Structure 1
Amino acid sequence: MSTLIVEEEIQLTLVELCQACNAPAEYVSAWVYEGVLTPSGQTPEDWRFSGESLRRAQQARWLARDMEVNAQGVGIVLDLLDEIAALQSRLQRAGLR
């Protein structure tokens, strides 16, 4: 899985996000409804995604396609990865890592 550095201020439409992470709109919509992604806007036509959403969507796509994890599972895995990263950061700040 490769990582792309993107400015946080970027705002992508649903179509742009799908193109950028190479995922169908159905996947992205499912991730929004599962809470994996939190766009601004009320409807898919109005949704705008941040640079952080792009990073998260790329991870979600990898989990969904390569690991065959469903939308609910993607949310759980990404939440756990976020918790691990936060704990690692706390350990580093405490000088324990």
Structure 2
Amino acid sequence: MSGTTRSSAGLDTRRRQILYRSWHRGMREMDLIMGRFADAEIGELSEEDLDEFERLIEVTDRDLLGWITGEIETPSNFDTPLFKRLKAFHTHTSPIHS
């Protein structure tokens, strides 16, 4: 079971792939963080946002989780408006936030 609550019906191929990859990262905590954000936002993300989200998907779970929780300083090239939205979403909606 993926955990997603959003149907991929009506999404273009790119968005369906991003939604899937968001829920299948490897570390359950990151599945929840990325997957829940994707469930909520995937339909509204611009092409630029999708580019950035795909870039975030490529970051290792350990690093990305550290950036989101503040345990590791976020590199400036990843401290983007989309990353800040992801971090704020996690902080305000997730039962696993720190």
The verdict on a shared fold, with TM-score over 0.5 as the criterion, is: no
Higher helix share: 2
Structure possessing the higher radius of gyration over alpha carbons: 1
TM-score (norm 2): 0.34
TM-score (norm 1): 0.35
